[in-house]
Amino acid sequence: MHLGVEYLGWAATAVFVGSYFCPRPSLLRGAQMLGALLWVGYGIQVHSSPVIVANVLVFSAAAWTAWAAFRKTNRLCKADPASAM
């Protein structure tokens, strides 16, 4: 295996382990998405469909929950015109 590919795998591992120390859920999701992208890149390099598919799913779940949290936050921040009456 090429040394660069091995480093990519180790970098992905470090990002995923580091994600457990994120103090905010938004940072956790961002770290999970970055780690998943690194693992997808690794999976492509080593021709491993299970690694690719599993991490596309991880990325998708993290992106979905990040988007849902973003929408919820923005909905709560906007003033409700009906409540101004």
Range of the domain at 48: 3-75
In a domain, 21, yes or no: yes
Per-residue pLDDT reduced to its tens digit, 4-28: 999 999 999 999 999 999 999 999 9
Q: Is residue 60 part of a domain?
A: yes
- Closest alpha carbon to 55 in 38, 68, 67: 38
Task: With respect to residue 80, please indicate whether it lies within any of the assigned structural domains.
Answer: no
Is 54 a domain residue?
Answer: yes
Whether residue 82 is contained in a domain is answered as no
Report how many domains make up the chain. 1
pLDDT of residue 71: 87
The answer to whether residue 83 is domain-embedded is no
With vertex at residue 42, the alpha carbon angle to CA 38 and CA 45, rounded to the nearest 5 degrees, is: 140
Q: pTM here?
A: 0.81
